[in-house]
Chain A
Amino acid sequence: MAASKPSADASSNIPDYEYAEVNTKPFHIGSFRNEWLKRLKPGDFSFQLEDEETFDANFARELRVDAETMAEIKSICSLDSLRCHPEDQQPDTNVVPDDPTLKTLIQRKKRQDYRATLKTPKNRHDLFTDELERAAIGKNPETVTNMIAEGELLLTVNVYYPPVVEKFQYVRPHMTLLMTGSHSLAELRDAICCVSDLQVCGEFSNTPDIAPDFISKDHFKSAFFFFEGIFYNDMRYPECQDISMTTIEWAKTHNFPTFSQAKMEDTRFADLKVKVGFPYLYCHQGDCEHLVIITDIRLMHTSDCLDKRLYPLLTHKHRVLTKKCAVCHVYIGRWFTTNDQFAPSNPCLFCDKCFRLLHYDAQGKKLGDFLAYPYVDRGAFN
């Protein structure tokens, strides 16, 4: 295992900016967790909520406060002292109150008034984001064995789509995954969904039924992550190759600092030494390259999803425009034909149903002359 050892110097594991608000200096994730746990009482990061009475009792005892003062403090600091509306009427929290004085509200009022003039009150992107959020928050498992341990780390990992389309260089489409510190990199790899894993190579106009058995994911299993000078290769299967070797050899002959290798499946996030906010690489299918940014690392909180089985947890996904079938304009294209006498254009895109209806008879016999290739849309994972 070539994952970097936890360094002895404690201060180097307290993350700090390398470039302000851009990325941090490298630090060891496991030691970072230990630093936090050293500073906190077990109660601070436990998932159990302390009830009010024990809290009051503890507070009074620790600070040697008598009951009278305690009651006074409690009444002063109660939530009622912050209420801005009369007790008997609950305001509608979904609208901006009239005549706001706060600057934020003045602007929000303007926007609200503008929105009221629009025809579509709620767009589907809002709905979708809300939906994803509901899936993630506050899910507790029924059994204790699936419960995440207290003081576990939660990592937020952004995996960016390869910038194969020009637009992607500006909008930075990505998916966001939540991982725990004890996950291995291989588990992250399996959670990343990329359409290049689903591609099928070859011409299948004679045997359209067997096409789905040949997806690239099963053929080409090699992949690697690159973090801080180390290539983490996927070596779980006998057919896996060390595809980072080419780069390492090349770097050697060109006076670059030497890189080392490790196994993806043996490396947990807690063993890594990384910079938060810094772009690293995930490469699979030979040349499908994704940037990977660890945007956040923190201790698990009681309001997070605590069910082990739900991780890696997807919290954000970019939606890509899909290309539809040229016949029905409803379903996403699955077949791509060339030299097709039935098609309005060359090449042409069909969904599975329209493709078969148009190109084969009831017995599944090929009609006419054409070449057909399976097509996987970029938005297949929407």
Chain B
Amino acid sequence: MDTPQKLVKTDCEEILHRFQQQESVRFEIFSKIWREMKFSEIFYGLPAQHEKRKFSRLILDTACSYLLPPYSFQIRVGGLYLLYSLYRCQTFSPPEQIRVALKDWEYVEKFEKDALEAKHLDVVYILHQLMCFKAFHFTAMPTLLTFQKKRQKEKPRLCEGFIERASRPQELINIELLEELSNIHDIYGKLKTSASLMSEDAPTPVNLTHKDLIPKLRSTVVDFYTWQQKRIESDEEDYSGEGTSSQQESSKRAEKLAAIKSRAFGQATEAAKSRRHRQVEVDLTSNQAGPSNSSGHTRLSKPSLKVRTNENLHISSDLWKEATATTKISRLTALDFVPEEKPKKNYRKSNKKVKTAKEST
């Protein structure tokens, strides 16, 4: 069974995802989705007072994280609306408050400024309403800390789709900066040539600047931007293909796994015992061609140590020849040179057997 934390998170993400799809920051849109999902009911069915408080605490803490970076502005607006709606819909009084930590407060202030500049009056109004209702606890840390060390850290799962794309390179390297750079570049070049002209006995000047720095910089940023755009598009395609609810996703994954398993088992039982390893070999290749490979089930096969050393060691040609020659001689003189191939082959087969056995389990 999933923990309440996870369930609350999926519910919050669901409403924010629907809000994101509307591509709006209006409260009307949000409240419509809220009503459609009957989100107020999330507080129902908790008879004991302390249970209610505990749950309110949990859901407010969860929702509060969407108000803060690294999420995009739209999601943060959604997060604010979510907090406001949750705060107002609590079924007991006095309600639980929203905890903001001192280190996060600057983000809230910045967010308010952004909303003001963009004239999103409903966003500002709701933020002010929350302040007016004294809905915030001004705290040291977002949660109560009791030195609960976790043996296995669960990474805070950020919802990828909500995160703002990095735009720092584009912001930093704009047209003005490029112009400025090229000006400085020219001036520097001129200065240097004049300096070298004045002192004629000086050796050829050290060349510290790239000639084509500016066009290169520009093209790099443009490349980055197009790459980013492409990725967004492909991401969206993936997302629409997979469907919205996480349940579908997980069931798909389960199906995939089941398919892989059945294939592996089926093939293994069909083959005669003596020929099983061959059969399995075929199975492996077909697996690799299929889409199941992407699920990360097959292990990354490293090239052997010998191959790697050959790649990494660059011995000058003479030495190399000598080395191989000596080994050839030694091998020729050695008695059992011929069966050298055999154990290797055996090893490969057994290795694959192990691999497939692992996969089928």
Contact = CB atoms under 8 A, between A and B. Distances in A.
Instruction: Say whether A and B bind each other.
Output: yes
Interface of A: 14-17, 19-24, 27, 32, 35-36, 39-40, 44-45, 49-50, 55, 59, 63, 65, 69, 73-74, 76-77, 79, 81-85, 91-97, 100-105, 107-109, 112, 122, 126, 129-130, 133, 137-138, 156, 158, 276-279, 293, 295-299, 301-303
B320 interface: no
Nearest to A47: B134
Contact of A299 (B1, B4, B35, B138): B138
Interface in B130-181: 131-134, 136-141, 143-149, 153
6 contacts: A49-B132, A84-B41, A91-B44, A93-B45, A107-B7, A133-B53
Contact of B141 (A15, A101, A302): A15
Contacts of B139: 296-299
A108 B85 CA distance: 21
Interface of B: 1-2, 4, 7-8, 10-11, 14, 26-28, 31, 34-35, 37-51, 53, 84-85, 88-89, 91, 94-95, 97, 99, 101-103, 105, 109, 116, 121-122, 124-126, 128-129, 131-134, 136-141, 143-149, 153
A275 to B, nearest CB: 9
A50 to B, nearest CB: 5
Contacts of B94: 137-138, 303
A104 B137 contact: no
A107 B134 contact: no
Contact of A94 (B47, B89, B101, B125): B47
B146 A104 contact: no
A82 B34 contact: yes
Contact of A82 (B31, B50, B133, B153): B31
Contacts of A19: 149
B208 to A, nearest CB: 37
A277 B144 CA distance: 8
Contact of A102 (B39, B97, B105, B129): B39
A108 B139 CA distance: 30
Contacts of B26: 76
Query: Which of A74, A77, A100, A122 has the most chain B CB atoms inside 10 A of its CB?
Result: A77
B245 to A, nearest CB: 9
A105 B147 contact: no
B102 A79 contact: no
Given A40-B138, A102-B11, A295-B145, A77 B45 contact: no
Report, nearest first, the 9 A-B pairs whose CB atoms are least far apart: A277-B145, A96-B45, A303-B94, A298-B139, A81-B31, A297-B140, A84-B38, A299-B138, A103-B7
B121 A73 contact: yes
Contacts of B48: 122, 126, 129-130
B144 A104 contact: no
A282 to B, nearest CB: 15
Contact of A77 (B34, B38, B43, B122): B122
B132 A83 contact: no
B4 A301 contact: no
B27 A77 contact: yes
A298 B138 contact: yes
Contact of B50 (A101, A108, A129, A302): A129
Nearest to A132: B50
Contacts of B147: 22-23, 277-279, 293
A20 B147 CA distance: 10
B28 to A, nearest CB: 5
A102 B145 contact: no
A158 B38 CA distance: 38
Nearest to A24: B141
B105 A107 contact: no
A104 B7 contact: yes
A93 B91 contact: yes
A69 B120 CA distance: 12
B221 to A, nearest CB: 32
A32 B40 CA distance: 36
Given A14-B103, A79-B88, A303-B94, A296 B38 contact: no
Given A76-B28, A277-B141, A298-B139, A83 B7 contact: no
